[in-house]
Amino acid sequence: MISVTNRSKVLPSERQHFSLLMPSCAVTSKWPGPDALRSYTSCIAPTFLAGHCAMPLPSMLLLSRLLLLFVIPLAGFASARPNFVMIAIDDLNHYTTPHLDQPDNFLRRVYSDPKRLAEIGRRLTPNLQRLASQSLSFSRAYCASALCGPSRTALLGGIPPHLSGYYQHNEHFRHNPALKEVVTLPQYLKTQGWFTTGLGKVFHKQMVEMRDGVRQDWPDSDYSWTRWVERRVGANADQGMAEHHGRSDPVPAARRTLSPYSPNDGLFTFGVSHIPVEETFDFQNARFAADLIAKGRASIIDGRGQPTEVVLPPDQPFFLGLGLFLPHLPWVVPQEFLDRFPVAEMRIDSELVRWVTDDITDLPAGTARQWLGKDFDSLIATGEKLHGPGGVTEAWKSALQHYLASIAFADHCLGQVIDALERSPHRDNTVVLLWGDHGWNLGDKRRFRKQALWEGANHTTLLWRDPAAAAGHHGLVCNRLVSLQDIYPTLAARAGLPVPAHVHGRDLAPLLADPQAPWENVLLQTYNQGNHALRTATHRYISYADGGRELYDLRADPFEITNLAADPAHAADVAAFHAQLTAFLARDSAFYRKTTP
């Protein structure tokens, strides 16, 4: 069996500087107990989150590491510490069954009949809906950045990209100076006595790679995990993804049949997989996680071809991370999932094509138009080549069908984990959270892509199942604005731990206790340097580095059709939102005082 080395990095000079960096209310002459930690949390969190303490980011990362030294001894006295199962689903937007009624759900335009839409929901994510019936679902959850690596790094590392400068994922995040010593969420739990294990796409990638002679520890196996299991992901029929990861693995024709409408333009590929579901990587990875939850041990052949076994220690709580790859491109899935979404049921016609085309006429020149991308145009061109003007709508339908089928495939894999939770001896002491790393545009804004600042690319799914929550809260939907950044502080607090000083986000405990509790919030999304979106309860304001502006009143215009920033009559509103954005960024800069170590 292969054993994954656990290397815990600790800076030797941290302890002696503890009293200089910790607030006075947090310093004790002995190892702190639960009361001291509650005192620490009550005094430090409001101070930092209110922006009253300006500390350089490297010092905050040092403070987070110091915190590990002083909290480690707490691991022994909490006998009922919760277990955590974290499920990440790649490129999963908010189309899921619990959120079909959201005003910005593009499926409402595709399936205009409410009864048909409800039926589509039952076919799409029945297992996610089953989990939602035991959870609190957040209908307005947003990422920090609409790209896999920056979003996941912000969520798991606690530092959003507008502060870290980690805007893309060309290299592992620890090669970024601002994130080199960051204490990630699983790393924090590991140092506090949790057994942390996982597989699949949790951070940006799932296996360690060598790139240009540099080791890229994509899963962060050196720091974050007690046991990390390297496994490939997906439906095993995706040549495009192999090439994307620097491999040239041949995909025999017998393994897949591409759709005639598939542009085959890089990753933008879709078709039918002929691999049995039970033999796909995502299904096997989910089965491994399910065995671990239900039986306490699981075995699998890892991505290097070696048999690997993980056993949960009986004397430790555990944190299990599972990353499902689909519905990330390529959308190549078994036919049975495509059959759930016949294209004949979709209302995608020339009127809808005109609608999305007219939508982009009021976008500012420059960056915004560059982000429209070529995927939609490539899809349209493929359809026209096959069938003339009528092929446009057929190509669009086919692409959407494959995306929905990919969600249904992921949901099928998820079902194993939910079944395991229901029969697990840890059922009553295991918190489950499920999230998508960002949204996806599927024709709206004439885009088939993420990587933008519009609602569709940033709105995603977030569920929180906690057996300690009041039974009356199970199955409820919270419509307050929340961020994936809130996961780290919420989970740390639920574990009974103080939130590390560097972590950006809010503890969702008030909403978990009362989904309708007062909750004022403004969220920031960033894509590449200097491009930001401010999401308020009523509006989305977008500011581009080149000076372009967009403003949408989401109460009256949930699909962001009318750019109010293009109307001189709204100049005062644009100025007010820009001032709010500027103040938001200035507050964060003062909080972190980001510098290069």
Q: How confident is the model at residue 499 (pLDDT cuts 50, 70, 90)?
A: very high
Pairing relationship of beta strands 136-142 and 195-200 according to DSSP bridges: unpaired
Do 259 and 270 meet the contact criterion of CB atoms below 8 Å apart? yes
User: Does the structure show a pLDDT above 90 at 250?
Assistant: no
CA 143 to each of CA 160, 354, 380, 527: distance values in angstroms, whole numbers, following the listed order: 10, 30, 29, 11
User: Does the structure show a pLDDT above 90 at 332?
Assistant: yes
Helix (H) or strand (E) holding 307: strand 307-311
Percent of the chain residues topping a pLDDT of 90: 71
Residues 204-228 have pLDDT tens digits of: 888 877 777 778 888 999 999 999 9
Mean pLDDT of the chain: 85
Instruction: Give the tokens for residue 221.
Output: 């196996």
For residue 215, what is the domain's CATH number? 3.40.720.10
Residue 371 carries which side chain, given as an amino acid letter? W
Q: How confident is the model at residue 398 (pLDDT cuts 50, 70, 90)?
A: very high
3-state class of 298 per DSSP?
A: strand
Q: How confident is the model at residue 76 (pLDDT cuts 50, 70, 90)?
A: very low
Do 439 and 456 meet the contact criterion of CB atoms below 8 Å apart? yes
Exposed e or buried b for every residue in 467-476, given b needs 16+ CB within 10 A? bebeeebeeb
User: Does the structure show a pLDDT above 80 at 530?
Assistant: yes
User: Does the structure show a pLDDT above 80 at 67?
Assistant: no
3-state class of 478 per DSSP?
A: strand
| Helix then strand then coil, % of the chain, to nearest 5 | 40, 15, 40
- Within a domain: 312: yes
For residue 584, count other CB atoms closer than 10 A to its CB: 16
Chain-centre distance for alpha carbon 484? 7
Bridge partners for 211 per DSSP: 214
* Cis peptide bond N-terminal to 510, omega within 30: no
User: Does the structure show a pLDDT above 70 at 562?
Assistant: yes
Cα distance between residue 142 and residue 457, in whole Å: 9
Greater confidence (92 vs 594) lies with 92
The whole-number average pLDDT for the span 475-491 is 97
* Phi (first) and psi of residue 332, to 5 degrees: -120, 105
Instruction: Give the tokens for residue 478.
Output: 């919270």
Residues 84-94 have pLDDT tens digits of: 999 999 999 99
pLDDT, position 38: 34
Bridge partners for 334 per DSSP: 273
**Helix 391-423 with 114-124: angle, nearest 10 deg:** 50
Instruction: Give the tokens for residue 91.
Output: 């490129």
Percent of the chain residues topping a pLDDT of 70: 82
pLDDT, position 289: 99
The whole-number average pLDDT for the span 291-295 is 98
Least confident of 28-32, 151-155, 389-393: 28-32
Q: How confident is the model at residue 79 (pLDDT cuts 50, 70, 90)?
A: very low
Greater confidence (68 vs 188) lies with 188
**Structural domains counted in the chain:** 1
Residue closest to 400 by CA, chosen among 455, 361, 345:
345
- Within a domain: 247: yes
Residues 446-469 have pLDDT tens digits of: 999 999 999 999 999 999 999 998
The whole-number average pLDDT for the span 570-583 is 97
- Within a domain: 562: no
Domain that holds residue 119: 15-75+85-522
- Within a domain: 550: no
CA 352 to each of CA 330, 393, 423, 443: distance values in angstroms, whole numbers, following the listed order: 25, 9, 46, 9
- Within a domain: 586: no
Residue closest to 257 by CA, chosen among 331, 172, 193:
331
The whole-number average pLDDT for the span 510-531 is 96
pLDDT, position 64: 53
3-state class of 129 per DSSP?
A: helix
The whole-number average pLDDT for the span 36-63 is 42
- Within a domain: 103: yes
Instruction: Give the tokens for residue 400.
Output: 């959407």
Residue 181 carries which side chain, given as an amino acid letter? E
Greater confidence (245 vs 297) lies with 297
Q: What is the pTM of this model?
A: 0.86
- Within a domain: 590: no
- Within a domain: 110: yes
Residues 24-49 have pLDDT tens digits of: 333 222 223 333 333 333 333 333 33
Residue 108 carries which side chain, given as an amino acid letter? R
* Phi (first) and psi of residue 390, to 5 degrees: -70, -20
DSSP track, 237-271: --HHHHHHTT------GGGEEE-TT---BTTB-EE
